Amino acid sequence: MTDLDDIPALMEQIGRRARAAAQRLATASPADKQAALTAAAGAIEAEVPAILDANARDVAAAEDKGLTPAMLDRLRLDRQRVAAMAAGLRNIAAQADPVGAVLTEWDQPSGLHIQRVRTPLGVIGVIYESRPNVTADAGALCVKAGNAVILRGGSESFHSSRAIHACLIQGLAAAGLPEDAIQLVPVTDRAAVGEMLTMTQHIDVIVPRGGKGLVGRVQADARVPVFAHLEGIVHIYLDAAADPEKALRVVMNAKTRRTGVCGAVECLLIHRDIADTIGQGVIRALIDAGVEVRGDDTLAGIDGVIPAQEDDWGREYLEMIVAARVVDDLDAAIDHIRRYGSSHTEAIVTEDTAAADRFTRELDSAILMVNASTQFADGGEFGMGAEIGIATGKMHARGPVGAEQLTSFKYVVRGEGAVRS
């Protein structure tokens, strides 16, 4: 048995096993991977009581530690959430297999036929916090893409994650795939994270999923490439040519449907020409719905609006609070977003196609929306089955990270004895 106290040795062993499993996963058939995920879903459904028991232990410990209600909510599982987890696995199983797909192909004058073929990335390290469902989603997406994965969940969800992980392993075993394809780090020691961040020989990419503190630490310390994932400082710009009804509907949904998701809007930018009409109507509706609106000087005159401070711009509330500012025109809106945004998701509400085109062309966030709620920023809503997170960086993956984004490619070149002159 491994000595769980010798973290470097433990992680080295996990890394070696993952690398070996990745080699087998890379050539696993689509049917086998599908079978593994379907069997894992069945195991989760069969093990609901065990999973809920494990989760109850985590929740009790978290309550003792005085975690916030929001954190407890993220941690807590019930029958419905466990069923959703199993359904997510079946959904991923049903998606097209990304590995081996010919992305593009062409002939060269030299007689060569060149194909660009999708391949797995290798070994993915996922570092996350309290949501136990990440164990299932991340494990399944990585396997779907032919990768091995090392999961390092938060200490709060330790027992829940172990129970879910046991079901994933059952699925792999049922399909004859190596169990080491999905490993859960069996210790809560933070040194394990440090090892993962520097295991360049065994881990190909790190996906951090969690709050600003976790992501910041990962980005600062990692020697392994990271799929950058910043907070969602989401803006909606109500253009002079906004449709009043769409503006109201989109903003209300983007703020109040769920405030704790990264696609929730945090700042409204309102064109000066409609500030007194559409803008005021939207702000009143927000206040009526219980949202605290922190407005600039122009908007502060509206009943119930609280004056915004400088640090309200560029702030992720994840609560029933929104910042609001009047801008002179589209350029000013773009400037504000460039300065304060986090390149996650922004939306424009307008009937003016030229304005929409400039907004989507000149801004460079991962997701740019026109007349749609920013809460659609989600892998499921993009048709990816599930997501491992929303990447805000520009390297490799961007936006919702589904199975396809967890792949690379290679070139397969065929000739008939062709030589270079």
> Which residues, listed in sequence order, are joined to residue 125 by a DSSP beta bridge?
150, 206
Residue choice 81, 162, 217, 246 for contact with its own copies (CB under 8 A):
246
Give the span between the Cα atoms of 382 and 367, in whole angstroms: 11
Angstrom distances, CA of residue 207 to CA of 149, 153, 369? 10, 12, 25
Q: Is 30 in the site for its own copies (CB under 8 A)?
A: no
Our finding on whether 94 is near its own copies (CB under 8 A) is no
Q: Determine if 418 is a binding residue for its own copies (CB under 8 A).
A: yes
Q: Is residue 198 near its own copies by the rule CB under 8 A?
A: no
**For residues 87 and 372, which CB has a smaller minimum distance to its own copies in the complex?**
372
For the record, the structure tokens of 317 come out as 């509330």
Can residue 62 be called a binding residue for its own copies (CB under 8 A)?
A: no
**Nearer Cβ to its own copies (43/268):** 268
Determine, following the binding rule CB under 8 A, whether residue 298 of this chain makes contact with its own copies. no
111 contacts 415 by C-beta, under 8 angstroms: yes
Report the residue number, 299 or 363, with the smaller CB distance to its own copies: 363
Contact segment (CB under 8 A) with its own copies among 63-71, 124-132, 184-192, 407-415 equals 407-415
Per CB under 8 A, does 78 bind its own copies? no
- Separation CA 343–CA 325 (nearest Å): 19
Which residues 112-131 are close enough to bind its own copies by CB under 8 A? 112, 114, 117, 119, 121-122
- For 235, the enclosing helix (H) or strand (E) is strand 234-238
Q: Which of 2, 110, 188, 309 binds its own copies (CB under 8 A)?
A: 110
Three-state secondary structure call for residue 161: helix
Extract the tokens encoding 406.
């967890």
Tell me the residue ranges of DSSP E strands in 147-194.
148-152, 182-184
- Residues ≥6 apart with Cβ < 8 Å to 254: 234, 236, 263, 264, 265, 347, 373, 374, 375
d(CA 297, CA 357) in angstroms, rounded, equals 30
- In this complex, which beta carbon is closest to its own copies, that of residue 212 or of residue 414? 414
Q: Which residue has the tokens 């590995």?
A: 99
Compute CA 283 distance to the chain's CA centroid, rounded to the nearest angstrom.
30
**Options 37, 373, 387, 403; binder of its own copies; rule CB under 8 A:** 373
65 versus 223: smaller Cβ distance to its own copies: 223
Contact map string, positions 322 to 351, toward its own copies, x by CB under 8 A: ----------------x----------x--
- Chain contacts with its own copies (rule: CB under 8 A): 23, 26-27, 100, 106, 108, 110, 112, 114, 117, 119, 121-122, 204-205, 225, 243, 245-246, 249-250, 252-254, 257, 338, 349, 356, 360-362, 364-373, 375-376, 378, 381-383, 394-396, 398-399, 408-420
